[in-house]
Structure 1
Amino acid sequence: MSPSTTLDAVADILARAQRILFVTGAGISVDSGLPTYRGIGGLYHDRLTEEGLTIEEALSGEMMATRPEIAWRYIAQIEASCRGAKPNAAHRLIAALEQEKALVCVLTQNVDGLHRAAGSRNVIEIHGTVHRLHCMSCGQGRRVEDYAGLSIPPECPRCGGILRPDVVLFGEALPELAIERLESVLSQGMDAVVSIGTTSVFPYIAGPVLWAAREGIPTVEINPGDTQVSQFVDHRLRMCAAEALPELWWRMHPADPAEDRGW
């Protein structure tokens, strides 16, 4: 099947669907200037930290509890790589589809907040976000736009304890509320499940795609490379997200192409 034929087929699926789950990873934010990664990332791929640790050790819940200055050093580097990034066409077009459909939900591994910045409201941030902090001592929370001006590690203004971001570190459990939200969405039934920019190495990320494939629900993958779910999906677009979504939007909205909206 030619790329154009595959785009037409996927556009037809999305046009007909009223309930769509988008499962997104770092690849959707590449055109916003962010690095790709598995887990934490290309920033540290196959390299030890300056302390001689793997990034999984440095960014673990245990390290945050015992040596927060080390965990925070690398959390701050990740936040710095996201700082100033803006949503790209893929983020914005998913948000636009949410306005047209009965249900569009985004399950994202990304902690950059770009889906919400683009206007998506039904977002499950399964790994949390760097933009919320809470005190490990008193629990007080606060929202921050960026980490500029924060001491590392930052202290709680109320009790002097150490703040941490509301992200899932290595070795920590996924947030129960996020899991419950995902289960609730899936229980409503899906008309399509679309995986974008993720290698799908985590079972809870591959799971919705594999579930849809078993149930006969149309599945789509948008990713330039091969992933853990590539062999199971109905349609594969070997494209970057910010290239594929405008092409799909144009086929779904020939009188209102994405470029006419500045996307």
Structure 2
Amino acid sequence: MPSRTYSFDEAADKLAQYISEHSRIVFFGGAGTSTESGIPDFRSQDGVFAKQQVYPHAPEIMVSRPFYDRDPEMFYTFYRDKLIHPEAKPNVGHQVLAQLEQQGKLQAVITQNIDGLHQAAGSKEVIELHGSVHRNDCLSCKKRYPLATVLESVSVIPYCPACGGVLKPDVVLYGETLNEQVIADAVRNVEHTDLLIIAGTSLSVQPAASFAQMGSQAATVIINRTSTPFDNAADAVFNHSSGLLLEAAFKRL
């Protein structure tokens, strides 16, 4: 049971040791891995769901599939304002993970994020549990468009340039189920890892909690500023910024 508190340098040394001793690493990250890129998380005191909003409904309602179907204009108003961050760039954590993959040590990144920053940093094997803002599908003709189509739309609701149908971002909204193949890919990687690094997630919702349990046969490290329900089951817990800690550990390899 990880009972001690590590200073930043101690945590970097320890994380570097874990990385150097393992060769089939899987990284599972949540919203906290992108906060260093200027993207707010959801449930912290400064998160999207916690702040007082100027919108007529709670954020959880406005990013639900029933709300999208009922009021796509208000959905897209909120979505553009709070969930799209085209100016965001990969941070040092994203870059380190891409480098570890290039070295053959990291086999996959599993992310709850929809921002595409892992791919922008150079990661190839990225499993996006909740989809991506960079893919947008026409509900009528099923053609797929990049984020630029949404950003450049002259109307709040983006329409398909080919048939005029309404576009929907390829993100999992409340009330929708996760893609079965995506889940299967994530499970396969977690079951075959020898080191599971969990970062930037409270592990308070599914399937995040399940992945933490599935990785119990491997060494498990949690990097999160606040405690999680699985801290006692992890081999080490580092309450530090994930990006900066990954960078410091990588420099020690």
Q: Give the alignment's TM-score, normalised by structure 1.
A: 0.87
- Mean CA deviation greater in 227-236 or 118-127: 227-236
State how far apart, in whole Å, the 2-side matches of 1:47 and 1:233 are: 35
- 1:204-223 to structure 2, matched below 5 A, reads 204-213=207-216, 215=217, 217-223=218-224
Deviation at 1:57, TM superposition (A): 1.2
Q: Match of 2:41?
A: 36
Deviation at 1:102, TM superposition (A): 5.0
Counterpart of 2:222 in structure 1: which amino acid?
E
Deviation at 1:67, TM superposition (A): 1.6
CA-based RMSD: 2.0
Contact 1:79/1:147, CA 8 A, preserved across alignment:
no
> CA distance change for structure 1 residues 184 and 89 in 2, over 3 Å: closer, same or farther?
same
Correspondent of 1:15 among 16, 20, 34: 20
Q: Match of 1:94?
A: 97
Deviation at 1:146, TM superposition (A): 7.1
Correspondent of 2:161 among 141, 157, 166: 157
Correspondent of 2:69 among 65, 73, 76: 65
Q: Give the alignment's TM-score, normalised by structure 2.
A: 0.90
Query: Is 1:50 equivalent to 2:55 in the alignment?
Result: yes
Correspondent of 2:116 among 113, 117, 122: 113
Q: Match of 1:258?
A: none
Deviation at 1:177, TM superposition (A): 2.1
Deviation at 1:195, TM superposition (A): 0.8
Q: How many percent of aligned residue pairs carry the same amino acid?
A: 33
Say how many residue pairs are matched: 246
Counterpart of 1:69 in structure 2: which amino acid?
E
State how far apart, in whole Å, the 1-side matches of 2:151 and 2:206 are: 35
Correspondent of 1:136 among 139, 157, 160: 139
State how far apart, in whole Å, the 2-side matches of 1:44 and 1:9 are: 34
Residue deviations 1:162-193 (CA, integer Å, cap 9, x gap): 10100000111001221121123234x11100
Deviation at 1:131, TM superposition (A): 1.0
Q: Flag as ranges the 4+ runs of structure 1 deviating above 6 A.
A: none
State how far apart, in whole Å, the 2-side matches of 1:232 and 1:102 are: 24
Q: Match of 1:257?
A: none
Stretches of structure 1 that go unaligned for 5 or more consecutive residues are 253-263
- Higher RCO, 1 vs 2 (CA within 8 Å, ≥6 residues apart): 2
Residue deviations 1:191-237 (CA, integer Å, cap 9, x gap): 10011111112221122222222x2x111111111123223211111
State how far apart, in whole Å, the 2-side matches of 1:145 and 1:21 are: 31
Counterpart of 2:16 in structure 1: which amino acid?
A
Stretches of structure 2 that go unaligned for 5 or more consecutive residues are none
